Amino acid sequence: MLRSLRLRLVVLLLVPVLVAGGLALGLTTRSVTSYERSQTQQRLQQQGPGVVRQFAEAARRAFDTEGTPRPINIRTFVRQITGADIWFVPNPAYGQPYPGGNVASWPGVKVDWSQLDRGRQLVFEATPPGGEKSLAVGSGVFLTHDFRPDPDGNIAAFGAIILTRPLSTLAPTQSFWASRLAPAFLAAGAAALVIALLAGFRITAPLRRLAAATTAIAKGRYDVRLDSGRRDEIGALNRAFDDMATQLQEAREHERLFLMHVSHELRTPLTAIRGHVAALADGIVESPAEQAAAYAVIGSEAARLERLIGDLLDLAKLEADRFTLRHDEVDVDDLLARCEAAHRESARAGEIELELRAGEVGAVAGDGDRILQIVSNLVENAVRWTPPGGIVRISARASDAGVRIEVADSGPGVPPARRGDVFRPFYSEGRGGTGLGLAIASELATAMGGALSVGDAPEGGALFVCELPRASGAVGRSLAQVP
């Protein structure tokens, strides 16, 4: 029902107003009722003595005559003056007849005569005969010369006069609410509705702009930007959206460059293979030496294709969490020695010094093949970016968390602004790479409970650090089994 966020906000803003209005109405009703009851009780207590005096005078005159007491016709007078009903309750201690008349008797009502004999008034709630529950104020009737109780309390009250007002008349009437409070509540409700509509529109407007910007992003327009100067939560959301749009734009550009680079990388070896195969098939290459050279090129380019396709498959498996890793104890010194031997010739061909600083750092927990792949990718990247005459240093040392494997070079280094990009897939700045090696190395390090980072090397180039957790047991030899 409430699918619109704007409608939900309007309801959310109106509900507290309505609840507050209901509470205010209830509290006002209670307060007015309490005030009216207090005022009515006070008036009845003030009117009681005067009514009692009139009744006592009439009663004494009635009892002074012979025969049947004459009716005491003061009920109508009392109702006109006080607005209350009048009741008479005779004191059983006298045994004298009730004066009668149009002052009704209230049989069965409980009266505390001891309090009335002392000149005190009674205040209570009761239901008179044939009436509804009422507020009652009782006063004693004395037939003394001054119609007052004896100071010593020796004279009992002849009876009690009870003035009553129905409780229903003490609560505010519908006309009272209609004339006094209804306009105020209607005005407050209308103002709250207008404010809720304006607030809902103002709050949802940025969300509508965000939805439009999202649609534009889905259509390939990455230049959409929102108001990121706001200091509230909407501003934070807009800034996050702008960052996302920028990253998507960069990722799209990196992907485009990657596809272009991969296409080139695939086309180059395929072109070489196809050319040499055609030359061999057409008999253009006749001498055994030329044929052997052609076969060597075909094998080398095929291995290059295999390596590129393997990198793509490895990255896809890592991102899909479908990569299987062994959990062995790997001797770091042996691993670095194998890596240095594998890249010695490529470094020498580029006139680069490859230095290994081995030490007794113990074993790390992980997959020996994949750790070797991480270090090999780091060394290959360092050799690619180090100019002739430079140096690439491989080392390892113990750390608090485990073992730090470091590969430092004397190349141009990685600017701080680009250090977060070098581990992203498809990122490459040339030099013959596909932009997958460092991304795969970072994913493998994370999968084995470690981390890969880059900083500045002492030689002025880049320093790549791979931290791996230390093995708990003895040094293993799983690496020696790697062919």
Q: Is residue 420 part of a domain?
A: yes
Residue 261: what pLDDT?
65
Q: Is residue 372 part of a domain?
A: yes
* In a shared domain, residues 143 and 269: no
Q: Is residue 176 part of a domain?
A: no
Residue 426: what pLDDT?
64
Q: Is residue 456 part of a domain?
A: yes
Q: Is residue 352 part of a domain?
A: yes
Q: For residues 400-424, give the mean pLDDT.
A: 86
**pLDDT at residue 480 above 50?**
no
Show which of 292, 319, 346 is a domain's final residue.
319
* In a shared domain, residues 311 and 332: no
Query: Residue 301 and residue 307: Cα distance in Å, rounded?
Result: 10
Query: Residue 431 and residue 428: Cα distance in Å, rounded?
Result: 8
* In a shared domain, residues 239 and 110: no
* In a shared domain, residues 116 and 99: yes
* In a shared domain, residues 344 and 303: no
Residue 232: what pLDDT?
75
Residue 478: what pLDDT?
35
User: pLDDT band at residue 307, thresholds of 50, 70 and 90?
Assistant: confident
Residue 465: what pLDDT?
93
Residue 389: what pLDDT?
92
**pLDDT at residue 440 above 50?**
yes
Whole-number average pLDDT of the chain: 78
Question: Cβ neighbours of residue 107 under 8 Å, at least 6 residues apart?
Answer: 89, 129
Show which of 319, 348, 381 is a domain's final residue.
319
Amino acid at 33: T
* In a shared domain, residues 341 and 246: no
Residue 387: what pLDDT?
92
* In a shared domain, residues 358 and 400: yes
Q: Is residue 182 part of a domain?
A: no
How many structural domains compose the chain?
3
Secondary structure of 375-397 in the HEC alphabet?
HHHHHHHHHHHCCCCCEEEEEEE
167, exposed or middle or buried, with CB in 10 Å at 0-12, 13-18, 19+? middle
Residue-wise DSSP of 134-167: EEEEEEEE--STTSS--TTS-S--SEEEEEEEEG
Q: Is residue 185 part of a domain?
A: no
Residue 474: what pLDDT?
37
Q: What is the CATH number of the domain that holds 310?
A: 1.10.287.130
Full domain range(s) for residue 293: 233-319
Tens of pLDDT, residues 43-65: 888 888 888 887 777 777 766 65
Q: What is the CATH number of the domain that holds 130?
A: 3.30.450
* In a shared domain, residues 359 and 464: yes
* In a shared domain, residues 334 and 304: no
Q: What is the CATH number of the domain that holds 459?
A: 3.30.565.10
* In a shared domain, residues 299 and 370: no
* In a shared domain, residues 261 and 349: no
Show which of 137, 169, 201 is a domain's final residue.
169
Q: What residue has token string 């004494």?
A: 60
* In a shared domain, residues 43 and 112: yes
Torsions phi, psi of 310, nearest 5? -65, -40
Q: Is residue 154 part of a domain?
A: yes
